[in-house]
Amino acid sequence: MELMDAIQARRSCRAFTDAPVTREVLDEIIAAGCAAPSALNQQPWTFTVVTNREMIDQLAAGSVECRNKLAEASGKSWLAKYDLSFVGSAQALIVIAADPSKIGMGKFLDEEGAHVKAASACIQNMLLAITAKSLGSLWFTMYDKEFLHKTLNIAPELEIVGMLPIGVPAGEMKAVPRKGVEEVAVYID
């Protein structure tokens, strides 16, 4: 798949079949993430790859618990109905974390968050690689970070930036409206 085709085809996938995703494919997806830019090439990202069915189920249950807490705390009752079954039906979950001490020269410019910016570029590369492999995923963030740190033994100094549920899509993924270039770009000639 050509790059521009993958960019246009990428969709958030919330339904997966039970077809397996191989370790080789997961390694290729992570390698795509590692090709992302980062300040001073510090590559602040780490990946925790979960393919164990019991652990996936535990993380899915943790996401449901987080959703319920968010619904209660926010007063947004619709949130409690948000279907998270896709987390448990994924064949793999990749949790991306980043080291906040790796921010390049930003520490001298009062800039914080370069590690999150780099991890975000990493995640986008991974989502495009997933699309190019005819798989589905989405950038998932409805989780309790403390729960993930503890459950997955992720070092406490690392900041969790996202989770990618991955699998073969079960059905068509619909496009959502996007703003056109003319709505978002300002050219200064």
Average pLDDT over residues 137-160: 96
The arithmetic mean of pLDDT across residues 95-106, rounded, is 87
Distance from C-alpha of 101 to C-alpha of 82, rounded to nearest angstrom: 35
Tokens linked to 50: 């979960």
Q: If you average pLDDT over every residue of the chain, what do you get? A: 93
pLDDT the model gives residue 176: 87
What is the domain partition of the chain in residue ranges? Answer: 3-51+90-167
pLDDT grade, residue 1 (50/70/90)? confident
Across 129-167, b (16+ Cβ under 10 Å) vs e yields: bbbbbebbbbbbeebbbebbbebbebeeebbbbbbbbbb
* Per-residue pLDDT band at 6 (split at 50, 70, 90): confident
pLDDT at 103 exceeding the cut of 90: no
Residue 169 to residues 91, 123, 131, 152: CA-CA distances in angstroms?
A: 11, 19, 10, 26
Count, in order, helices (H) and strands (E) of the chain: 7, 3
What residue has token string 């930003």?
106
Share of the chain above pLDDT 90, in %: 76
3-state helix, strand, coil in the chain (%, to 5): 50, 15, 40
Query: Is the CB of residue 71 less than 8 Å from the CB of residue 79?
Result: yes
Per-residue pLDDT for 91 more than 70? Answer: yes
Name the residue with higher pLDDT: 31 or 114. Answer: 31
Supply φ then ψ for residue 161, to 5 degrees: -105, -25
User: How far is the C-alpha of 34 from the C-alpha of 180, rounded, in Å?
Assistant: 30
CATH topology of domain 3-51+90-167: NADH Oxidase (3.40.109)
Three-state secondary structure call for residue 147: helix
